[in-house]
Amino acid sequence: MQENENEVTTNRIRIIILIILFFSLITCAYSQSKIAGYWKGTMMRDGSSMDVSFDFKMQNNSLLGFFNSPSQKASGIPLNNLQNTNDSLSFSLMSEPVTIFNCKIYDDKINGEIIQEGFTNGVLTLKHSEPPPVKFSFIDTSFKSGNHNIACRIYFPMTPGKHPAVVFLHGSGGEGMFAYQYFAEQFASRGIVTLIQDKQGTGKSTGDWTKANFDDLANDYINAVNFLMNFDKVNKSQIGIYGHSQGGTLAPLVASKSKDISFVIAAASIGDSVYKQDLYRVEINLRANDFTPAEISEAIDYYKSWLDMARTGNGFEKLDSINNSSKEKKWFEWVEAPPKDHWIWKYYSETGNYNSLDYWKLTTVPVLLVYGENDQIEDVKNYLKNIEGALTGQSHNPDVTKMILPNARHNLCIFPEKNDKFFWWHLFPHYVDSLISWILLRFKN
C-alpha cells in the first residue's frame, strides 16, 4: 500500500514538472516571438551616440540576431551568446574588445547596458520599427574554382537592364563574405551588381587559405568574374574588382590575368614587396609601443633573419640558435618566429616575395587608389608614389585616380586618438558614396 502511494506521488511530481516545463517553453517561445523583427535606435557612451539597428528572427524554434551600423560598415553581423528569458535579453558582438549587451524588454522598446573592457559602460536604446525598404535582391550560390567550391552571395539592383558589377577581394586571413556585406548592399542599392564570397577554407567554401598562394586566390577571384557573366543583369564589359589591404595588393595580379576586368579599386595596396612591408609594419608597431632605437634595431635584425629563412627556404638550421640568443629580450614576443611545423613557413615561401609593382605595370584599365592618411602599418606616401609610377610611367595608364582619406587609419576608419574625447569609431564619411560615384561616372547602364 505504501509503495502504491509513493508511486502515485512520484507520478504527480513528474506531471507537475512536465506542466511547468511546458508552460516555460510556451512563455519562452512567446517572449522570443515578441522580439522577432526590426529594432532601431542608438548606442550612447560618454555623450557620443551612434545609430544602430538589430534584426531578430526565429529559425528552427531558435532566436537569431544580427547587428547593423552604417557608420561602422556593419550589415547582418551575427550576434553571439544570444539569451532571452522573459523580459531579459543579452548578447555579444565579436569586436575588439568584445561588446556585451545586457538588456530589458518593455513592450515595443529594448533598453540595456553596453559593456566593453577598457571603456565606461554605455546605453543601448531600441524601438520596434518598420524595416527600411530593400532596394536589391540577392541569391546565395557557389561556383567552382579549380578543385574548390566557393560559396558566394550575389546582389542585384531592382532597376531594369544590365548593370556594372564588382567582385570583392578579401583582406588577409580567413575572411568571410560578411566582411563586405554592407558595401555590397549599398552598391546594389545604387545600380551595381556585387559578388561577395567566403575565402577558400572559410564559411561554406572548401579548400584552405593557409595553403593557397596568391595565384590560387587570384584564380578564385577571376572565376568569380567569369561566374558573374552568366547573369542577365550583368553588363559583361563592365565588371571590376574592389580589394582592401591584401585584396588591394592582389588586385593588379587579378587584373593582369584576366581580360574581362574593366576597372580596379585598390585600397591600402602594398606598393612594394610583401617582405619589405612586413619589416616596415613591425618597425612602426615597435616604435608605437615605446621601444628604444637600440631595441628596435635588435628586434628587426631577428625578425628579418627568420623572414629571410621563410621566403628563401635557406638558413632554417639557424632558427634554434637565434631563438635561444633572443628569447630573453623584451621585444621577443612581438617578433617571435612560429614553431617549425607552422603553416606560415610554406605560405611565406610562396607569398613573401610577391611585389604588386610587377603587375601594376601591366594594368591599363581605370584605377582608383585609396589610402587612409593615418595608416598605421603602411608607408602610404612611398607606396602611392611607387604605384603611380608603375601605372602612369610604365603601363601608360591614362585613368588613375587617387583618394587620400584625412585622419583615416589602415581600415579606412576614424578612431579617437590618445587623450581625445570619446567617439564611436566610424568609416570615413561618404566613402562608399565616393566609390559608387567613381564607378558610375565611367560605367553606366
Q: Please indicate, yes or no, whether residues 172 and 86 belong to a single structural domain of this protein.
A: no
Q: Please indicate, yes or no, whether residues 111 and 93 belong to a single structural domain of this protein.
A: yes
Q: Please indicate, yes or no, whether residues 233 and 374 belong to a single structural domain of this protein.
A: yes
Calpha distance 311→348 (Å, rounded)? 6
pLDDT at position 191: 97
Last residue of a domain, one of 94, 129, 164: 129
pLDDT at position 393: 86
pLDDT category of residue 5 using cuts at 50, 70 and 90? low
Q: Please indicate, yes or no, whether residues 258 and 396 belong to a single structural domain of this protein.
A: yes
User: Of the given ranges (18-32, 166-180, 218-232, 287-301), which has the lowest mean pLDDT?
Assistant: 18-32
Q: Count the domains in the chain.
A: 3
Q: What is the mean pLDDT of residues 431-443?
A: 96
Residue 151: CA count within 13 A, CB half-sphere: 15
* 1: Cβ contacts below 8 Å, ≥ 6 apart: none
Task: Tell me the three cell numbers of residue 116.
Answer: 566593453
pLDDT category of residue 23 using cuts at 50, 70 and 90? very low
| pLDDT of 58 over the 80 cut | yes
User: Of the given ranges (204-213, 232-241, 303-312, 391-400), which has the lowest mean pLDDT?
Assistant: 391-400
| pLDDT of 20 over the 50 cut | no
Closest C-alpha to 124, from 96, 95, 152, 91: 91
CATH number at residue 170: 3.40.50.1820
Question: 291 in a domain, yes or no?
Answer: yes
| pLDDT of 17 over the 60 cut | no
Last residue of a domain, one of 129, 152, 187: 129
Q: Please indicate, yes or no, whether residues 191 and 320 belong to a single structural domain of this protein.
A: no
* 332: Cβ contacts below 8 Å, ≥ 6 apart: 299, 302, 326
* Average pLDDT of every residue of the chain: 92
Length of the chain: 445
Q: Please indicate, yes or no, whether residues 240 and 160 belong to a single structural domain of this protein.
A: yes
Domain of residue 317: give its range: 274-351
In tens, the pLDDT along 243-291 reads 999 999 999 999 999 999 999 999 999 999 999 999 999 999 999 999 9
In tens, the pLDDT along 218-243 reads 999 999 999 999 999 999 999 999 99
Q: Please indicate, yes or no, whether residues 437 and 370 belong to a single structural domain of this protein.
A: yes
| pLDDT of 29 over the 50 cut | no
| pLDDT of 12 over the 80 cut | no
Calpha distance 199→117 (Å, rounded)? 31
Q: Please indicate, yes or no, whether residues 432 and 308 belong to a single structural domain of this protein.
A: no
| pLDDT of 334 over the 50 cut | yes
| pLDDT of 380 over the 90 cut | yes
Q: Please indicate, yes or no, whether residues 198 and 142 belong to a single structural domain of this protein.
A: yes
| pLDDT of 322 over the 80 cut | yes
Long-range contacts of 22-30 (CB under 8 A, 24+ apart): 27/86, 28/84, 28/85, 29/61
Calpha distance 367→395 (Å, rounded)? 12
Q: What is the mean pLDDT of residues 63-75?
A: 96
pLDDT at position 382: 97
Query: The cell 524601438 sits on which residue?
Result: 127
Closest C-alpha to 73, from 427, 437, 429, 435: 427
Burial letters for 11-37: b for 16+ Cβ neighbours within 10 Å, e otherwise? eeeeeeeeeeeeeeeeeeeebbeebbe
pLDDT category of residue 137 using cuts at 50, 70 and 90? very high
CATH number at residue 70: 2.40.128.20
Q: Please indicate, yes or no, whether residues 319 and 363 belong to a single structural domain of this protein.
A: no
Q: Are 99 and 114 in contact (CB under 8 A)?
A: yes
Calpha distance 35→23 (Å, rounded)? 18
Q: Please indicate, yes or no, whether residues 388 and 413 belong to a single structural domain of this protein.
A: yes
Q: What is the mean pLDDT of residues 341-366?
A: 96
Task: Tell me the three cell numbers of residue 337.
Answer: 618566429
Q: Please indicate, yes or no, whether residues 242 and 330 belong to a single structural domain of this protein.
A: no
Q: What is the mean pLDDT of residues 184-202?
A: 97
